[in-house]
Amino acid sequence: MVKIECLACDKTLKLPQSIDTDNYDGQLVCSSCKALLHVKLVKGKLRKYKIVERRRLGERVVNITVIDQKTKDLMSKVKDRTKKLVEGEG
């Protein structure tokens, strides 16, 4: 069981069971302070860990929208195109 302490409030994060601790690269929300954290787990070890967004109590908590794969693909395509356009100018 991987234990990760929140960078914002030092409480131990509860990892959802759906997370594969052998191979996970994504965001987690601290259940205590709602800070958004990015973690990368490889073979049960923490490889990358940073705070994405710190939220203070009393602040409006914005729901994190889960983007479906189709939208994700579309977004990356647009990104690629923009990148090519920018590179083309240079």
Binding mask 17-56 for Zn ion (x = CB under 5 A): -------------x-xx-x---------------------
- Out of 2, 4, 9, 19, the only residue in the binding site for Zn ion (CB under 5 A) is 9
d(CA 4, CA 45): 10
CB neighbour list of residue 76: distance below 8 Å, 6 or more residues apart = none
Residue count, binding to Zn ion (CB under 5 A): 7
Answer for the pair 86, 80: CB distance below 8 angstroms, yes or no.
Answer: no
Q: Which residues are at the interface with Zn ion (CB under 5 A)?
A: 6, 8-9, 30, 32-33, 35
